[in-house]
Amino acid sequence: MIKWGKFSIEFDDLFTIILGVVIVVGLLSCCAVVQASQAKRDPLYENPLAYRRSPESSISLKSSRYMGSQIKYFEGALGLQLPIVTLHHLRPHTFQLGVEVASWITLGYQEGAFPLLLHDYLIAVPVSFRSGKFSAAIKYNHISAHLGDGMNQILEENLSGTEKKDYEFYQSIADSVGVDIALKEPLTYSREFISAHVSYEFHMGWDTVGRVYAHGGYIYKIIPRRLKRYFIGNGLEVTFNTFPFPYLAQDTTYNADTDTLDYSAQAGIILLTREKSSVTLRVAFTGYIGSDRRGQMLGRKLKQIGFGIFLR
């Protein structure tokens, strides 16, 4: 472990950071030495709309129960799919190498401020393939999670009268010996995994387009180590080809680390498409039932509804 003031970092995490930097620098270097077509900059494989860990930018207002209270909070994300090299030499088959990065944050609300509750990070290196309406990807992924300083403040505000008295009593004892009592202790959460993704698009009639997909992965490095190491899932998306392009999306994934079948869904409209703009912008109602996928909440049962804006 390396310590610097109040900060510390494990050697395994330091190695992962260095590895990530080397991979990104290597991919950027490829751009200078590989002659590839730049005509198409869109990702060949589109990540699912309803999957909880698709890299995209978003802001959502969510509500769920925690420790007996119904808590409202904001979830924000900054995510990017960046194609690096696209090869068209084997038409109609196209190959692509890229980078995906994402950062998810959960913000509470307290007296006009938005304390940070949770923070998750993702970096992925996908190798993608497309042929007509079929697309696929194989990815290297790293994800880690951190507890925000505001979590204990929000939990303390939502304690019942009796719980708050008990907490203040024990905290007064702890203060006398210079110790702070946390209502939520941080978890050491990190994982590196290989995942595979396949997708097929088709016309459904009534001027609608459908998409089915499947994905799965194996986690070869995981903290906490006691957890199972694989996941597998599938989903369906239906989009109407008339503005404002209403859509429905659902994802069902079995996550062995929590031994749960997790269900996620969205219903909304697409205001901007890549055909007419460089980005896709949509607004949607969201729902989720399953195990919380935020690393610091690992294993907690979650029923969540919300409304959000999504950009990719």
Domain boundaries, the chain: 1-33, 42-311
pLDDT at residue 31, rounded to an integer: 38
| CATH placement of domain 42-311 | 2.40.230.10
pLDDT at residue 223, rounded to an integer: 87
* pLDDT, tens digit (0-9, with 9 covering 90-100), for 259-270: 999 999 999 999
DSSP annotation of 206 reads T
State how beta strands 57-66 and 301-311 pair: antiparallel
Element (H, E) at 151: helix 151-157
By three-state DSSP, how is residue 173 classified?
helix
Short-list 144, 139, 169, 148, CA closest to 10: 144
Q: How far apart are CA 164 and CA 60, in angstroms?
A: 30
Q: How far apart are CA 155 and CA 258, in angstroms?
A: 24
pTM for this entry: 0.75
CA atoms within 13 A on the CB side of 237: 21
Q: How far apart are CA 150 and CA 74, in angstroms?
A: 13
Triad 95, 100, 104: Cα angle to 5°: 155
Question: Which residue positions in the chain have pLDDT lower than 70?
Answer: 1-40, 66-69, 110-112, 150-186
pLDDT at residue 82, rounded to an integer: 93
